[in-house]
Amino acid sequence: MDKDDWQGMQADKQLRDFAGQLRDQHPHLKVKVHVFGGGVSLIVTQPTGADVAKIVYEKNQYTVTTAGQLSKRVTFDQATKQLEEALAILS
Radius of gyration of the chain (CA): 13
What pLDDT is attached to residue 77?
Answer: 96
- Can you give the pLDDT at residue 2? 82
Given this model, what pLDDT does residue 39 score? 92
Q: pLDDT tens-digit profile of 65-84? A: 998 788 999 999 999 999 99
Residue 39 contacts residue 55 (beta carbons within 8 Å): no
* Residue 46, CB-side half-sphere exposure with 13 Å CA sphere: 11
Tens-place pLDDT, residues 25-69: 999 999 999 999 889 999 999 999 888 999 999 989 999 999 878
Half-sphere exposure of 3 (CA within 13 A, CB side): 2
Of all residues in the chain, the percent with pLDDT exceeding 70 is 99
